[in-house]
Amino acid sequence: MFVPLLDGAGGVIDDDTVTVLASVVAAHAALAREAGAARVQAVATAAIRRAANREALCAAIHREAGLRIRVLDDADEARLAFAGATRTIAAPPDGTVGVVDIGGGSSEIVAGTIAGGVSWYVSVDVGSGVLTERLVHGDPPTPDEIDALRAEADTAFAGVVAPRMRFAYAVGGSATSLRKLCGDELSPATMDDALGRVSAWPVRDAARRLSLARERVRLLPAGLILLRAASTVLGGLPLAVARGGLREGVVLEDFASRPPNGVE
């Protein structure tokens, strides 16, 4: 289930959303345990990190699901997204690799090597959810709203100078949702084409065509524009849609922290 985490007045996530989110996390945790998971982790990213009532939200999830939420900072997000993307590549490339992580509340561009991990990253406080709620009111979005999204994305990444790299990967909900439109590679041309299509479809039609939740589809224009802006920062480098991301990075980190053979 997709639960939009939208800040209300004063940056507070409303009580109804807190209740729904806690019940969804509890249901997912129960499914994981039923499937045999010995350990279940829950992490929170920018939307919860910035919420004025994040402590109350985390407490509600703890009561419902029995899980203590680990609230990630931007460095954690960058490191885990990079690990999840690069360590799930079938044939890892040599040299500097980039990872673009477009989330709902923030966006990261990360660079590093497979062997050495992250060497550079930048995080900006705009994501597909933030921009959509602020700027998109039409269904489908109007041309003026698309222009406003582009302007915000360009401003967010203005002045960012990324290291040179040969390969870059995209992670996050927007990137993985675009496979049906763009395939496994998000080039500037395919992203421009996809934006033209999704911004012309009402949310209901796009959700049916792409077999995605309406809440996810509503964020796609902003997500595409942020991915395109990040690609521009990387010199127009195409973004391969990664098979792993932040969640896989969390799992890999957990495995790495455990002694061999499960002996504590």
pLDDT the model gives residue 264: 46
Name the phi and psi angles at 121, rounded to 5. -155, 160
Instruction: Report d(CA 238, CA 167) in Å as an integer.
Output: 8
Confidence bin at 263 (pLDDT 50/70/90):
very low
What's the mean per-residue pLDDT of the chain?
90
Helical axes 143-157 vs 128-135, angle rounded to 10°: 140
Length of the chain: 264
Eight-class DSSP state of 163: P
For residue 250, with 0-12 CB atoms within 10 Å meaning exposed, 13-18 middle and 19 or more buried, which class applies?
A: buried
| Mean pLDDT confidence for 204-218 | 92
| pTM confidence score | 0.88
Going by C-alpha positions, the residue among 226, 48, 209 that lies closest to residue 135 is 226
Which structural domains are found in the chain, ordered by start?
9-71 (3.30.420.40), 74-247 (3.30.420.150)
- Residue-wise pLDDT for 49-60, tens only, equals 888 999 999 999
pLDDT above 90: residue 259: no
